[in-house]
Structure 1
Amino acid sequence: MECAARGRGTRCIGPPTRRCGSCGAVAYCSVAHQLSHWGDHREECARFEQQMRSANVLLDFPFTFFSEAMVQVHEKQETRCFFFVRQGLHQVGMWRNECHCGASVAASDCPRVIYDWNLPSMLCPCREPINPMLMRLSNWKDYYEWRCLPLHSPVALLLHWTFTIYHAVQLAAIRNATNGSSNKLYIHYLGPDKELLQLAVFGELRALFPGIQVHIDLVGPAVPQSRDGERINLCSYARCTEIDCPCKSSTENASLEVSNARNSAVTLQLHKGFYHERYREMKDSSPHLILAPNAGIAAYASWLPTIELIKEMDVPAIFSDYCEEAANLAANCISSVTGHPLGIPIQLNPFRQPMVVEDSSLFLPSYSNCFIFGM
């Protein structure tokens, strides 16, 4: 957390311990810095206050690790590192980038795909579902009940990527690829970062879209040059730690094979660069949906030509961001480029990551893939 007036002329005199008395969302190192910042903060203060009042809604999760992962991390009583240490997952496999000490781990430093949950079978979805999906999944509780997972399983901390895709498909009302009239679903996924070390979790799309062949082009500057153009076929689920579990019958080589047409499969292809620079090269997979998780549209000028391109393509595009304020700023940017309001209004993502972001620049509660909206 930084002083909200940092860089405004005079140097900060200490940590930002003085919070705004109205909204409580920003903090300052001194009274002088608070006063100097009021001209800027005045416009946003009431908006922040409203967002802080609704913060408790963001805490509506069914998990038994609620206090450790949400409340204690947000109030700085706990860190993400300590949470994962207690879970036995600190700096392990797909979990490596979930805390600060793993932030410097580059995707190029790891195997192509890490296939292990590093959890026992009772805590992870390592096999086909026991029962078919009989209804649309609306929240994490629905999913855990369907997959017969206990509410202390931490898999939602990684599966939020997969379920943001699932939820985006529902929001965009993409029926032609999911109601039996077609067995293919093409998605352009913009700006992957942490996901590059967690690609095996996309294998769960096999269960979420049974009988559908899902192809995802992941496009972004964080893709290592050495992996540009790489193609990965996920024909099995990420595995558990138990040696005698049936999931071990699917070897890593089998997981990379292209499945036959009778089975659903998930195919990923990586592309380095910005979407507006690489789109013309992806003619083989005209998308049913464009998805940009944690987009940060207002923070990066590189989004402007991408938004222009999406407007021309006339394809459903869904975005997410960490907090409501970031989503509001993004909506303003999109409207200024397209000349139209959002087609899908800002709303809470029921499949946001159930762990608060500990390095937020504001006291506004933030979660990965927290708010979702579209054009």
Structure 2
Amino acid sequence: MECAGKGRGTRCTGSATRRCGRCGVVAYCSVDHQVKHWNDHKDECKRFELQMERIDALNEFPFTFSEEATVQLCQKQESRCSFLSKRAIHKIGMWFYECPCGEAATSYNFSRLNDGWVLPRFHCPCSEPLSPITKRLHSWKDYYDWRCIPLHSPAALLLHWPLTISYAVQVTGLEPLTPEFGNTLCIHYLGPEKELLQLSVFAELLALFPGVALQIEFVGPSIPEEMNGKTIHLCSFAKCLQMDCVCKSSCKDVDRNVCSNKYPRLALKLRTGFYHDCYKDITKDCYPHLIIAPNAGIAAYSSWLPTIEFIKEIKVPAIFSDFCEEACHLGASCLSSVIGRPITFPIQLNPFRQPIAMEDTALFLPCYSNCFLYGF
């Protein structure tokens, strides 16, 4: 972790080991840098202090591995690599990109779209649910109970992508299967990165939205130019490890227009570029009911400003997520200044955040992928 007072006139004298005595979130290399940084830090210090008081709720998950994936990882007693290795899912299948080992391999590989769970049959949602969904899901426990998955399964580490989409639909009050949707729910998904290499997991939306045709437009500069305009139809769930499972005899894997269903219920379309530049081309096929931007980092990237201005003009509900509450606070402030009013959907903890902490974060705050949501 870098000294929070870095660049304050003098060079850092060593490692940033001196933490703020009030909030405990930022650290300094020396008393001198801490004093010089105080005027900048004093307002955020109060926010950080309140955020640190909510750490227990942030780290609360129902899984048997929760302590290992949260507190132990934050204290560096555990790492993502070791967590995955203990479960024999390190650097294989869709798990390849869940640790620093795979983060460098960011090239889009179309052949990896058929990657499966590499988990036993009863540890992952590889086929249709035993019973239809009858109520809204409010927690990982609700979801695991419905899908009959044991709480020691790590499947939630990947399922946070589709579950966050489902929860965003709830937050905005959208109701699929009503006349306003026609026969398709269309979602514009902004700024995808790692999830582009885990697209098979989005097939879980087939179970989360039964009877609903879905079209998701993935839009962002990380999508390779050669994939621009490509459509991928998902008509079956990601496969489990067992060769005799019913999932092996279901409809084709991830499909390149070979699904037996003439009108696949879940279509993923890839668009290269920024949303405000691509919008006109996208809406020829799909006018959005919802815009979602996972782990957006709005305050960190100026390229978001024209996109936010554009979303304001088209008046479509938009949900953003980020890794920690402070990033959402900064993002919400940015949103409010652009749209000229308070945000519609206040910052709230996402019950379907990824249940393993991020490593090597900039602050001593626990960070999780899709941790908090907010929007307008």
Fold in common (TM above 0.5):
yes
SS in structure 2 at match of 1:111: helix
Q: 1:184: which partner in 2?
A: 184
1-side partners of 2:147 and 2:160: how far apart? 15
SS in structure 1 at match of 2:70: helix
2-side partners of 1:179 and 1:63: how far apart? 39
Structure 1 regions of 5+ residues with no counterpart? none
Q: 2:313: which partner in 1?
A: 312
1:3-25 CA distance string (max 9 Å, x none): 11223332222221111000000
**1:175 Cα offset (Å):** 1.7
Q: TM-score under structure 1 normalisation? A: 0.96
C-alpha change, 1:78 and 1:218, in structure 2 (3 Å) is: same
**1:252 Cα offset (Å):** 4.5
CA RMSD of aligned residues (A): 1.7
Q: 2:33: which partner in 1?
A: 33
Question: Residue type matched to 1:306 in 2?
Answer: T
Q: 1:371: which partner in 2?
A: 372
Q: 1:201: which partner in 2?
A: 201
The reply to whether residue 301 of structure 1 matches residue 289 of structure 2 is no
Q: 1:85: which partner in 2?
A: 85
**1:56 Cα offset (Å):** 0.8
Work out whether residues 200 and 254 of structure 2, in 8 Å CA contact, stay in contact via their aligned partners in 1.
no
C-alpha change, 1:181 and 1:22, in structure 2 (3 Å) is: closer
Q: Which moved more, 1:22-31 or 1:250-259?
A: 250-259
Q: 1:338: which partner in 2?
A: 339
Q: TM-score under structure 2 normalisation? A: 0.95
1:61-107 CA distance string (max 9 Å, x none): 10000111111111121111111111111111211111111111124
SS in structure 1 at match of 2:295: coil
SS in structure 2 at match of 1:113: helix
1-side partners of 2:159 and 2:179: how far apart? 23
Q: 1:19: which partner in 2?
A: 19
1:181-230 CA distance string (max 9 Å, x none): 73310000000001011100100000000011110000011111221111
Question: Residue type matched to 1:126 in 2?
Answer: C
SS in structure 2 at match of 1:285: coil
C-alpha change, 1:71 and 1:314, in structure 2 (3 Å) is: same
2-side partners of 1:14 and 1:95: how far apart? 36
Question: Residue type matched to 2:302 in 1?
Answer: A
How many residue pairs end up in the alignment? 374
Q: 2:44: which partner in 1?
A: 44
Question: Residue type matched to 1:162 in 2?
Answer: P
Work out whether residues 108 and 197 of structure 2, in 8 Å CA contact, stay in contact via their aligned partners in 1.
no
Work out whether residues 234 and 253 of structure 2, in 8 Å CA contact, stay in contact via their aligned partners in 1.
no
1:285-340 CA distance string (max 9 Å, x none): 00000000011000000000000000010111011111111111111101111101
C-alpha change, 1:172 and 1:272, in structure 2 (3 Å) is: same
Percent identical residues: 57
Q: 1:97: which partner in 2?
A: 97
Work out whether residues 114 and 197 of structure 1, in 8 Å CA contact, stay in contact via their aligned partners in 2.
no
Q: Which moved more, 1:246-255 or 1:198-207?
A: 246-255
Work out whether residues 69 and 357 of structure 2, in 8 Å CA contact, stay in contact via their aligned partners in 1.
yes
Structure 2 regions of 5+ residues with no counterpart? none
Q: Which moved more, 1:167-176 or 1:62-71?
A: 167-176
Work out whether residues 235 and 259 of structure 2, in 8 Å CA contact, stay in contact via their aligned partners in 1.
yes
Work out whether residues 139 and 351 of structure 1, in 8 Å CA contact, stay in contact via their aligned partners in 2.
yes
Q: 1:165: which partner in 2?
A: 165
Q: 2:111: which partner in 1?
A: 111
2-side partners of 1:160 and 1:254: how far apart? 19
Q: 1:351: which partner in 2?
A: 352
2-side partners of 1:259 and 1:319: how far apart? 35
